C-alpha cells in the first residue's frame, strides 16, 4: 500500500530489526506482583491503514498466545480515526475478545491523534501499572515537541513505548524514534509483506510485558528466527 506521502512501504532491514530486539532486551524489566501483565495496544485507524487492517487483526490477536504460561496478559485496544474519534476498549484477557473488538472497527479518514494515546496511557498507568505501550501507525501530523514531552513523562513513570512504523514517512519515523527513545522503548519499521516478522516482534513485546526479561529470553530460545536472535542479544 502507499502511505500518506504517496511512497511505497519498504521492508524493515535486518539491522533495524536487530536494533529493535536489542532495545527490548535492554528495557528494564517491569515490576511484577503476581498480577497479569498489562499492555495498551494502540492503532492508527485512519483511511490509509484500511488495506492492512484485516491482516493486522489476526497478527495482533496472537500476542496472547505466548503469555498464558506467564500468568497471562491483559490488553486494552485503543484507536483513533475520523474527526477526533478516539476509542479505548475495556481491558481484554483473551485473543478472542481482542479479535472481536478489532473486527468491529472500520477505518475512517482523519488526522493522527497520537497525543491522545500518550495522555491516555499515562492516565491508565496512574490507575494501575501499565507494563508497555505498543503503537502501530504510518503517519504523524502533530506537534513533535508536545509528543516528545508526553513520551518523556511515560519514561519517568516506567511505561516504555514500542512503535511499529508501517511505510517510510520521514516525519513519522523521526517522531516515532524520539517517542521510543524518551519513553525507554524501541522503534521498528515493517511493511505489509512482513507478517511473520511483525508477529514475532509483537509477541516479544507481549512476553516482556507479561513476564519480564527472563521470559523474553526463554521465548527467544524456543521461537528461533527473529526471536532467537533476541536470545543472543540478551546474553
Query: CATH number for the domain including 172?
Result: 3.40.50.410
The single-letter DSSP state of residue 193 is: T
Share of the chain above pLDDT 70, in %: 76
The conformation of residue 66, written as its DSSP 8-state character, comes to T
| Residues of the domain holding 203 | 36-212
Considering only residues 48 and 154, tell me which one the structure prediction assigns the higher pLDDT: 154
Q: Does 184 have pLDDT greater than 50?
A: yes
3-state helix, strand, coil in the chain (%, to 5): 55, 15, 30
Q: 115-152 pLDDT, tens per residue?
A: 999 999 999 999 999 999 999 999 999 999 999 999 99
Domain annotation covers residue 23: no
Q: Which of 194, 213, 113, 117 is nearest to 161 (CA)?
A: 117
In a domain, 21, yes or no: no
The answer to whether residue 230 sits within a structural domain is no
Task: Please report whether residue 233 resides in a domain.
Answer: no
Identify the pLDDT of residue 36: 85
User: Does the global pTM surpass 0.85?
Assistant: no
- Flag whether 54 is in a domain: yes
**Confidence label for 154 from pLDDT (cuts 50, 70 and 90):** very high
Among 56-70, 124-138, 139-153, 156-170, which is the least confidently predicted range?
56-70
Task: Please say whether the beta carbons of 132 and 150 come within 8 A.
Answer: no
Share of the chain above pLDDT 90, in %: 42
User: Residue 125 falls within a domain, yes or no?
Assistant: yes
Amino acid at each position: 500500500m502507499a502511505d500518506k506521502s504517496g511512497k511505497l512501504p519498504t521492508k524493515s532491514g535486518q539491522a533495524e530489526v536487530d536494533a529493535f530486539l536489542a532495545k527490548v532486551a535492554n528495557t528494564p524489566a517491569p515490576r511484577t506482583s503476581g498480577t497479569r501483565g498489562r499492555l495498551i495496544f494502540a492503532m492508527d485507524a485512519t483511511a490509509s491503514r484500511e488495506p492492512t487492517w484485516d491482516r493486522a487483526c489476526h497478527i495482533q490477536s496472537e500476542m496472547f498466545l505466548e503469555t498464558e504460561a506467564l500468568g497471562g496478559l491483559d490488553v486494552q485496544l485503543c484507536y483513533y480515526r475520523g474527526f477526533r474519534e478516539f476509542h479505548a476498549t475495556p481491558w481484554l484477557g483473551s485473543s478472542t475478545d481482542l479479535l472481536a473488538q478489532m473486527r468491529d472497527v472500520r477505518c475512517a479518514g482523519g488526522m493522527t491523534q497520537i497525543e491522545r494515546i500518550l495522555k491516555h496511557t499515562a492516565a491508565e498507568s496512574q490507575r494501575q501499572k501499565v507494563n508497555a505501550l505498543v503503537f502501530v501507525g504510518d503517519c504523524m501530523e502533530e506537534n513533535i515537541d508536545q509528543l516528545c514531552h508526553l513520551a518523556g513523562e511515560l519514561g519517568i513513570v516506567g511505561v516504555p513505548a514500542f512503535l511499529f512504523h508501517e511505510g517510510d514517512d520521514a516525519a513519522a519515523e523521526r517522531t516515532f524514534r524520539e517517542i521510543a527513545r524518551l519513553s525507554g522503548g524501541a522503534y521498528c519499521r515493517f511493511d505489509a509483506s512482513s507478517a511473520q516478522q511483525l508477529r514475532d516482534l509483537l509477541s516479544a513485546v507481549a512476553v516482556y510485558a507479561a513476564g519480564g526479561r527472563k521470559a523474553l529470553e526463554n521465548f527467544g530460545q524456543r521461537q528461533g528466527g527473529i526471536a532467537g536472535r533476541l536470545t543472543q542479544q540478551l546474553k
